[in-house]
Amino acid sequence: MTLFSFSKKENPIKAFNPQNTILAFGDSLTYGYNANPNESYPSILSRLSGHKVINAGIPAESSQDGLKTFT
């Protein structure tokens, strides 16, 4: 697989500071429904990234519900 980039802009994504925390926000997939707590994707992300990850997944939450959380 070959990936091309035609943008002259530099990559706006910067490396996280080791002390940064990641918020995993979403529905039952984020929550880890029917999975062991150490098998949820936020747990795996924490292990792979070395960062603290807060699992804010709520089973059956919709995008509209999530928006209400932040407004």
Q: Categorize the per-residue pLDDT at 17 as very low, low, confident or very high, splitting at 50, 70 and 90.
A: confident
List beta partners, residue 55.
24
What lies within 8 Å, CB to CB, of 49 at 6+ separation is 16, 22
Whether 33 shows a pLDDT value over 70: the answer reads yes
| pLDDT value at residue 4 | 55
Q: What's the rounded Cα separation, in Å, for the pair 7 and 24?
A: 29
| pLDDT value at residue 1 | 53
In order of 5, 12, the CA distances from 2 in angstroms are 10, 21
Decide if 48 contacts 18 (C-beta within 8 A).
no
Instruction: Give the CB-side neighbour count of residue 44, counting CA atoms within 13 A.
Output: 9
